[in-house]
């Protein structure tokens, strides 16, 4: 509207100039003054148009809304009971945004929240909530985030349930609040380090330290990570994890192992998985897991687990599946579960 008014004013002056010249009996001095004023107005209009054009240029900000809804229905069988239940396999909705700051720097933020289909579709518990900045020196972020140790778990996290990877889930961390993270990519190599600072725990320093390195290329994926976690009574938990993964066109293989030292007790997790695209639509997945908490009596939660899944991928965003899992506990009842489910993913960028 402002540009339209300015343009109209110039046009009016352009048509009025000859009239003023006639009324002044072709006075040369008057014509020169009018021409000068008109040129000044035209110059000013050009400047305003340039400013308006610059202001109307789309900002250098990107905003994405994304999510995944994953309801399941199945039967859980133990030696003493059978339970039918609708469940949820980590449904979530989130947003991510980035803005170019200039000088090679980018600001970013993410908020991701649970959608608990099992409990009235409740929405709100945060999975991730952080803000950061990245550039040539790396990426730094503060808030609730995924920890470095996920470079160990991600390659074997392939099943359609919230408790995966199966053995890793019993001991390893996924996301932590009060976290400060640093990431730096060197070609195919990623270096990652985290520290948790929660003043409510009474510690003057960090409560959790996690660092690792990952090599990822078209040839292979290899990662190693270590974390130290402060426990109660001035005790520590120290964990070293390694993982390896390899794709052979339609076949995918991966294995992850962790050695866990907790209060002078050694435990471990092992997850070995495979997936294979039978054709463009059907995919089969297999997994074997072993969890050892270091115990050797009835209080121990040691188990061996096995998983088999058949998926129907109708589109890249939608799939259905049937999945069978058994947890064979050393000192507890065996747990068998068969379930069917659906998964719908979406993301929109503005």
Contacts of 165 (CB under 8 A, 6+ apart): 153, 156, 157, 159, 256, 269, 271, 273, 287, 289
Q: pTM for the full model?
A: 0.81
Give me the count of residues in the chain: 350
* Alpha-carbon separation of residue 76 from 133, 174, 296, 334, 338 (angstroms): 45, 25, 26, 10, 7
| CA pair distance 258, 147, nearest whole angstrom | 15
Contacts of 335 (CB under 8 A, 6+ apart): 76, 77, 78, 326, 327, 329
Contacts of 331 (CB under 8 A, 6+ apart): 297, 298, 299, 300, 301, 302
Please give the pLDDT value at position 57: 42
Residue 324 host element (H or E): strand 318-329
| CA pair distance 49, 47, nearest whole angstrom | 5
| pLDDT, tens digit only, all 350 positions of the chain | 444 444 444 444 444 444 434 444 555 556 677 777 777 777 777 777 666 655 544 569 999 999 999 999 999 998 878 999 999 999 999 999 999 999 999 999 999 999 989 888 888 789 999 999 999 999 999 999 999 999 999 999 999 988 899 999 999 999 999 999 999 999 999 999 999 998 776 555 678 999 999 999 999 999 999 999 988 777 899 999 999 999 999 999 999 999 999 888 899 999 999 999 999 999 999 999 999 999 889 989 999 999 999 999 999 999 999 999 999 999 999 999 999 999 999 999 99
Strand, coil or helix: what is 87?
Answer: strand
């Amino acid at each position: 509207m402002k540009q339209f008014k300015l343009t109209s004013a110039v046009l009016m002056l352009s048509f009025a100039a000859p009239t003023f010249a006639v009324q002044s009996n072709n006075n040369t001095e008057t014509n020169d003054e009018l021409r000068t004023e008109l040129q000044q107005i035209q110059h000013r209009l050009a400047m305003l148009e340039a400013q308006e054009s610059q202001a109307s240029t789309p900002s250098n900000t990107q905003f994405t809304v994304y999510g995944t809804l994953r309801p399941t229905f199945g039967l859980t069988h133990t030696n003493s009971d059978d339970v039918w239940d609708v469940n949820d396999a980590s449904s979530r909705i989130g947003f991510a945004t980035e803005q170019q700051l200039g000088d090679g720097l980018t600001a970013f933020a993410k908020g991701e929240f649970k959608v608990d289909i099992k409990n009235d579709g409740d929405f709100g518990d945060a999975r991730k909530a952080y803000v950061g900045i990245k550039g040539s020196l790396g990426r730094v972020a503060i808030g609730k985030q995924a920890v470095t140790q996920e470079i160990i778990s991600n390659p074997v996290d392939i099943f359609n349930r919230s408790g995966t990877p199966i053995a890793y889930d019993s001991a390893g961390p996924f996301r932590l609040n009060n976290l400060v993270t640093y990431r730096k990519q060197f070609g195919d190599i990623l270096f990652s380090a985290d520290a948790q600072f929660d003043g409510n725990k009474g510690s003057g320093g960090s409560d959790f330290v996690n660092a690792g390195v990952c090599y990822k290329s078209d040839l292979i994926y290899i990662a190693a990570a270590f974390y130290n976690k402060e426990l109660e009574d001035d005790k520590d938990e120290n964990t070293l994890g390694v993982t390896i993964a390899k794709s052979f066109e339609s076949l995918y293989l991966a294995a992850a192992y962790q050695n866990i030292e907790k209060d002078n007790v050694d435990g471990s997790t092992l997850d070995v998985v495979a997936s294979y695209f039978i054709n463009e639509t059907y995919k089969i997945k297999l997994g074997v897991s072993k969890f050892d908490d270091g115990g050797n009596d009835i209080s121990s939660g040691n188990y061996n687990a096995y998983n088999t899944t058949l998926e129907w991928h109708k589109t890249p965003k939608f799939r259905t599946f049937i999945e069978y899992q058994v947890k064979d506990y050393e000192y507890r009842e065996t747990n068998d579960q068969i379930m069917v489910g659906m998964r719908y993913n979406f993301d929109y960028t503005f």
